[in-house]
């Protein structure tokens, strides 16, 4: 088994600045597809494209915010209690985003249910705070947060798009509709739980093929 890494000790691939950091987060160590972190929410909210994008935005916001503040405070947080300090910072941003959704997008907030709150236990945010923001200055940490947020959001959008397309036969997004036409009988299973596992498994396999052999050793 090559995936014995536990959630909090993920990444470890820090170092590199600016563009390197960006590329790492979005592609070479994409949090979802390569490192396989934070999959709980990735699977749960991706039954529709719009849900996936909102979740991606939520993670981007939380990751950038927590990375910035953990990085700013990195010399002041005592090492022994850094975990709880990180959790407190992350929770603050999650609550902010949750309140924002509740105030302006009530329908979306109801659809996402507890999964917005569960960003707190999302390994990606915690992992980036622990592995990157604690050792790096604020600006690079923001870049890292953006990169991981985008990497996560893109992977989420792909899963959401495929599941909605094959599950409902059409994707409705900001008024635009992509329709498979009447020849296709929508497969309800794609919207339900098994479809999520299936699409995600296939997606990681495709990423593995694209990345070549170093994918397995990288984990």
Backbone torsion region of residue 192, taken as left when φ is above 0, otherwise alpha when ψ lies between -120 and 50, otherwise beta: beta
Residue 21 or 47 having the CB closest to other proteins: 47
Binding of residue 85 to other proteins (CB under 8 A): no
Map residue 143 onto helix, strand or coil.
helix
Q: How far is the CB of 20 from other proteins (least distance, A)?
A: 25
CA 41, CA 143: separation in Å to the nearest integer? Answer: 23
> By the 8 A CB rule, do 71 and 137 touch?
yes
Q: Which of 26, 37, 70, 143 binds other proteins (CB under 8 A)?
A: 37
Q: Please, is 125 exposed, middle or buried when counting C-beta atoms within 10 Å of its C-beta (0-12, 13-18, 19+)?
A: buried
Q: Annotate each residue in 41-60 with x if it binds other proteins (CB under 8 A) or - if it does not, as one string.
A: x-xx----------------
Q: Annotate each residue in 93-112 with x if it binds other proteins (CB under 8 A) or - if it does not, as one string.
A: -xx--xx-------------
Give the count of residues interacting with other proteins (CB under 8 A).
52
CA 164, CA 41: separation in Å to the nearest integer? Answer: 16
Q: Which of 28, 111, 121, 187 binds other proteins (CB under 8 A)?
A: 121
Angle at 30 between CA 24 and CA 31, to 5 degrees: 120
Report the interface residues with other proteins, using CB under 8 A.
1-8, 36-41, 43-44, 84, 87-88, 91-92, 94-95, 98-99, 113-114, 117-118, 120-123, 126, 189, 192-198, 200-202, 204-206, 208-209, 216, 219
């Amino acid at each position: 088994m090559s995936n014995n890494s536990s959630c909090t000790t993920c990444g470890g691939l820090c170092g590199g600045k600016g563009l390197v950091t960006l590329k790492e987060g979005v592609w070479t160590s994409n949090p979802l597809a390569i490192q396989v972190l934070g999959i709980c929410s990735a699977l749960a909210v991706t039954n529709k494209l719009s849900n996936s994008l909102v979740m991606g935005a939520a993670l981007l916001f939380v990751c950038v915010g927590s990375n910035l503040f953990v990085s700013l405070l990195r010399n002041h947080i005592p090492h022994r209690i850094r975990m709880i300090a990180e959790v407190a910072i992350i929770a603050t941003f999650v609550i902010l985003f949750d309140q924002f959704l509740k105030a302006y997008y009530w329908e979306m907030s109801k659809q996402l249910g507890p999964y917005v709150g569960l960003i707190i236990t999302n390994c990606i945010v915690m992992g980036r705070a622990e592995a990157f923001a604690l050792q790096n200055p604020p600006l690079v940490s923001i870049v890292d947060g953006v990169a991981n947020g985008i990497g996560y959001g893109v992977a989420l959008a792909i899963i959401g798009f495929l599941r909605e397309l094959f599950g409902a036969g059409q994707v409705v997004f900001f008024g635009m509709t992509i329709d498979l036409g009447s020849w296709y009988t929508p497969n309800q299973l794609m919207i339900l739980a098994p479809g999520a596992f299936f699409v995600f498994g296939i997606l990681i396999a495709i990423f593995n093929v694209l990345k070549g052999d170093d994918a397995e050793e990288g984990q």
